[in-house]
Amino acid sequence: MPATRSVPEPSPTGRVGYDGGVAIVTVNVLGSPYDVHVEPGILASAGAILLAGSSSTRVAVLTDQIVGPLHGPALAASLRAAGFEPILATLPPGEANKSLTALLPVYDAFLSAKIERSTPVLALGGGIVCDMAGFVAATLLRGVPFIPIPTTLLAMVDASVGGKTGVNHGVGKNLIGAFHQPTAVLADPAVLRTLPPAELSGGLAECIKHDLIRDADGFANLERTLPEILAGDVGALAELVAHNVRIKAAVVAADPFEHGERAHLNFGHTFGHAVERVSDYAVGHGPAVAVGMVAAAALAVDLGMLDGGSRDRLVTLIGRAGLPTGGLSLDADAVVRAMGYDKKVSDGRLRLVLPDRIGHVVVRDDVPAARVAAAVRRITA
């Protein structure tokens, strides 16, 4: 739906083509491809981009109380300049508010403003806002266009690619939801400059994961460019986002419903989810995935699949990204038990995504529990 620009070709090194900070990555899913626009300052062009594809004069915008004041005015000005009337709803931030209850006033706001089937829902925020706005878009009037404008690194490289939307339930995270593909994604790397460093590091955990599972050259590039990324260099951030969207898009397009290789994206997550749960979510997702990747790499070395040098490169990069590599004050046995309840358990066997070199992983369902326990003890104090 938005105006299209030329799409830079991926270079042979696996890095996405990159032209002055602008990249468009097409996500080919289920016959409804959409473009992820990665461009510093694109927030201020959102109205004009929308105008090219929308027949509605109104747009519904969902944000949160932290991102709204920071970046809402620029988005609203851009929408108004293009002749749109924004209908704004603001959520309290935080995972505890990622619930159906928190969405009720949002439905009230959008429905009482008489939105139509053609009215797009925009998400301005991190993964929580994107997941919730996507669910609203999937369910309002049985489905309206959805345009995420992700504002965290994690939301840009992970949550806004793949079409998973939803909210949490008391029984567990993300248990109520729907697949609803965006019409387009507008990723503005410049907004990452207001992101707290810990949130940037959390997103970097997924970026490290992407290169570790798919792209050895990308991994080496990240080792080189990490200082600029951590310093908030917008060009480096734009390149990082485009590169990672391309990896996630390729994996998702090959396996939209998680029957096969999309499981590779779970690298570090089987350990990580258990760490999140056992810590009662005191360890956040990014740090949990970070130690999860350390544990998975240790296990791979233990099984003779991975060389120690590659493991050391991974652990070093994780640490340099501001993420933990071990020393958790958690009961290792409790973490192992929690892994048994992970949703990645198939036919009673624990399926683990393990690296056999940087840039490549395999799925193993034959790892003895004792070896898994030993790997967990590497990341607990």
Ligand X SMILES: NC(=O)c1ccc[n+]([C@@H]2O[C@H](COP(=O)([O-])OP(=O)(O)OC[C@H]3O[C@@H](n4cnc5c(N)ncnc54)[C@H](O)[C@@H]3O)[C@@H](O)[C@H]2O)c1
User: Do residues 261 and 254 touch, judged by C-beta distance below 8 A?
Assistant: yes
Residue 129 and residue 105 in contact, taking contact as beta carbons nearer than 8 Å: no
79, 140, 195, 314: which one binds ligand X (CB under 6 A): 195
Query: Which among 210, 273, 277, 378 is annotated as catalytic?
Result: 273
Q: Does 155 bind ligand X (CB under 6 A)?
A: yes
Q: Are the beta carbons of 9 and 17 closer than 8 angstroms?
A: yes
Site for ligand X in 262-291 (CB under 6 A): none
Number of residues that bind ligand X (CB under 6 A): 28
> In the set 16, 50, 90, 158, which binds ligand X (CB under 6 A)?
158
Nearer to ligand X, 136 or 195 (CB): 195
Cα separation, 25 vs 44, whole angstroms:
20
Q: Pick from 35, 39, 199, 239: which binds ligand X (CB under 6 A)?
A: 199
206 is an active site residue:
yes
> Active-site residue 266, yes or no?
yes
Q: Which of 170, 180, 96, 88 is nearest to 131 (CA)?
A: 180
Q: How far is the CB of 206 from ligand X (least distance, A)?
A: 7
In sequence order, which residues have a C-beta less than 8 Å from that of residue 91 and are 6 or more positions away?
A: 62, 63, 64, 65, 97, 102, 106, 125, 128, 129, 132
Indicate whether 201 belongs to the interface with ligand X (CB under 6 A).
Answer: no
Single-letter code of the amino acid located at 243: H
Interacting residue with ligand X among 23, 36, 43, 66 (CB under 6 A): 66
Among the listed residues 37, 71, 248, 378, the single catalytic one is 248
Which residue in 164, 209, 277, 311 is the catalytic one? 164
- Rule CB under 6 A: which of 71-100 touch ligand X? 93, 95, 98
- Residue 154 to residue 159: CA distance in whole angstroms: 7
Of residues 128 and 315, the one with the C-beta less far from ligand X: 128
Round to whole Å and give the CA distance between 158 and 302.
30
Stretch that binds ligand X, among 30-38, 187-195, 295-303, 339-347 (CB under 6 A): 187-195
Q: Least Å distance between CB 197 and ligand X?
A: 11
With left for phi above 0 and alpha for psi between -120 and 50, is residue 258 left, alpha or beta? left
Q: State yes or no: is 180 an active-site residue.
A: no
Minimum Å gap between C-beta 196 and ligand X is: 6
Instruction: Based on the residue annotation, tell me whether 285 is a catalytic residue of this protein.
Output: yes
Site string for ligand X, 114-153 (x = CB under 6 A): -----------xxxxx-x-------------------xx-
Among residues 287, 269, 297, the alpha carbon closest in space to that of 200 is found at 287
Give the x/- contact pattern for ligand X in 5-34, rule: CB under 6 A. Answer: ------------------------------
Single residue of 149, 191, 200, 323 touching ligand X by CB under 6 A: 191
Active site residue 114: no
Measured in degrees and rounded to the nearest 5, phi and psi for residue 133 equal -65, -35
Q: What is the DSSP string of 87-100?
A: EEEEEPPSGGG-SH
Q: Which is nearer to ligand X, 146 or 219 (CB)?
A: 146
- Taking alpha carbons only, the member of 137, 98, 96, 99 closest to residue 119 is 137
Please report, as a single letter, which amino acid is at residue 103.
L
Cβ contacts of 153 within 8 Å, gap of 6 or more: 192, 195, 199, 200, 202, 203, 204, 206, 207, 237, 240, 241
Rule CB under 6 A: say whether 328 interacts with ligand X. no
Dihedral sign from CA coordinates of 121, 127, 132, 136: positive
Q: Could you confirm whether 9 is annotated as catalytic?
A: no
Quick check: is 98 catalytic? Answer: no
- 194 part of the interface to ligand X, by CB under 6 A: yes
37 catalytically annotated: no
CA 359 to chain centre: 19
Tell me whether residue 273 is one of the annotated catalytic residues. Answer: yes
Nearer to ligand X, 64 or 215 (CB): 64
Q: Write out the residues near ligand X by the rule CB under 6 A.
A: 64, 66-67, 70, 93, 95, 98, 125-129, 131, 151-152, 154-155, 158-159, 162, 164, 173-174, 191, 194-195, 199, 202
Residues forming the active site: 142, 164, 206, 248, 258, 262, 266, 269, 273, 285
